[in-house]
Amino acid sequence: MFFEGSEKKLEIIVNPAAAQLRQWDRAFWTALVQCAHADILSSMSNDDCDAYLLSESSLFVWDDRIVMLTCGNSRLVEAACYFIAHVNPASIRFLSYQRKNEYQAYLQPSRFADDIAQLRQWIPGKACRIGHLDSHHHYVFCSGNSHHAVAAEHSLELLMYHIRGELADYLNGNAQSPEDICALLKLKTLFPQFSFDSHVFDPFGFSLNGLWGRYYITLHITPQLAETYACSYVSFETNLDLSQYPHPVVGCLLRLFSPVSWDVIGFNHPFEERQFPEHLCLGSGLFTTEHGYNIGFSHYQQLRTEALIPELM
């Protein structure tokens, strides 16, 4: 059974004088998520952030910003427009909307060009693609507001494809539990200060949110079928500065999942390739937005070649 793991991502920063987002009631966030054709499964909170685990990925809410990711055939752009309509476009300091190329893009309800045309009806901005159309590529739309990034505004996304090995086999097994998956992921070692909320999907799939003060992590696994790794996918994202973090998070995740290839996308975040297994960097790019975000995109492949197995059709 195919499921599109690649996510769309929305980040919106608002003027805190105009809206204290965490004071908005649950009904608003429920409606926002439903606009994207998703549902809230569970939630967790601390003094800085509310984290919602969704049927398609995650939503994080701070007083002055949101980060929302959706996968599958979701309509994240509809949620973006719903939010803009309720907060007033003049109150938005910054908006970014991202889409990674999908495995089966023809099944999606819209293209990136359709999405930004819809967004531009509400808010001006610039869009670009980084990467080749016939390979891994990434689309980014950034609003034209006067917001300028501060030093603490950074994030890192690790996207892994064609996972293999013991963990991949377990994730495709018949009996799984959130506790066992969290233990296999070594979360208590990698993120000892974090609290977690997780969900195992039927028949396959796993999602997790983690909070520690204003910091978040989110992890989503689409293992697919054990016989065909061609569409397995794992995403990890955080606003921690992993270059200063005491644990080798990226290297550990790459060893656990053993992906054939992976992407790293950073907003004002350096890449730390020393943690990587033996690899080739197949492409890399860096550009700076007018808001002061240095956005980097790199695509890697394991140095050891993959053993290809014929699949019956």
Q: How confident is the model at residue 204 (pLDDT cuts 50, 70, 90)?
A: confident
Average pLDDT of 155-169?
A: 92
Cα separation of 52 and 59, whole Å? 5
Q: What is the pLDDT of residue 183?
A: 95
Q: Report if residue 313 sits inside a domain.
A: no
Q: Report if residue 46 sits inside a domain.
A: yes
- For residue 112, what are its two tokens? 């990136």
Q: Report if residue 2 sits inside a domain.
A: no
Could you tell me the sign of the dihedral formed by the alpha carbons of 121, 126, 132, 135, in that order? negative
- pLDDT per position as a tens digit, 243-281: 889 999 999 999 999 999 999 999 888 777 778 888 888
* Confidence (pTM): 0.93
Q: Report if residue 310 sits inside a domain.
A: no
State the distance between the two ends of the chain, measured CA to CA, in whole angstroms.
14
- Tell which residue, 69, 42, 43, has the closest CA to residue 56: 69
Q: Report if residue 309 sits inside a domain.
A: no
HSE-up (13 A, CA, CB side) for residue 180: 8
Q: Report if residue 68 sits inside a domain.
A: yes
Cα separation of 93 and 95, whole Å? 7
Q: Report if residue 198 sits inside a domain.
A: yes
- pLDDT per position as a tens digit, 58-112: 999 999 999 999 998 899 999 999 999 999 888 999 999 999 988 887 888 899 9
* Max mean pLDDT range (23-27, 132-136, 149-153, 168-172): 23-27
Q: How many structural domains is the chain composed of?
A: 1
Q: Are 97 and 67 in contact (CB under 8 A)?
A: no
CATH (domain of 55): 3.60.90.10
Domain carrying residue 236: 8-302
Q: Report if residue 307 sits inside a domain.
A: no
